[in-house]
Structure 1
């Protein structure tokens, strides 16, 4: 994740909830002009151990924001600094 990417979504292949979360994050970040990225937990043993049952996991500015689902209004509020 680069310095201009404020949102990170941890995902894994074949996860339909991950696909939905990425769609919401993509839309909200496009609206707000916020950089974001994804990371596949299956490429990192520690992430896989820690988050295997919680993906997708969303982080905003390095802090865990949500898991399993992304609420667009809650994400907008977090990006605006009002959570």
Structure 2
């Protein structure tokens, strides 16, 4: 099962929208979801603050700012079929 990681911070409206999109995709194609609050780590905060939300799938960077649900679904199905 793939792992999707969402880097964001509390109060980020784009992060909330990304989480909702991830949950919609997850209802069709299961994956493990990890949420990382960039405010708890100075390095992550510096790296991602200007581009959150940032989404990775199995350690590979896929999206900044918003989630392309169709592209994510395709990626998860492709990965799952390997």
Alignment check: 8 A CA contact 2:4 2:56 kept: yes
Check if 1:24 corresponds to 2:45. Answer: no
Please state which structure has a larger fraction of its residues in helix: 2
Distance in 2 (alpha carbons) for counterparts of 1:36 and 1:5: 9
Asked if 1:33 corresponds to 2:21, the answer is no
Tell me whether 1:47 sits opposite 2:44 in the alignment: yes
Structure 1 SS opposite 2:50: coil
Contact 1:17–1:56 at 8 Å: present in 2 too? yes
Per-residue deviation, 1:37 = 1.6
- The answer to whether 1:10 aligns with 2:7 is yes
Write out per-residue CA displacement over residues 16-64 of structure 1, whole angstroms, 9 at most, x where no aligned residue.
Answer: 0000000000110121111112110000111001000010000001111
Q: Considering only aligned residues, what root-mean-square deviation do their CA atoms show, in Å? A: 1.4
Q: Which runs of 4+ in 1 moved over 2 A?
A: none
What is the count of residue pairs matched by the alignment? 79
Give distance in 2, aligned partners of 1:53 and 1:76. Answer: 26
* Secondary structure of residue in 2 paired with 1:50: helix
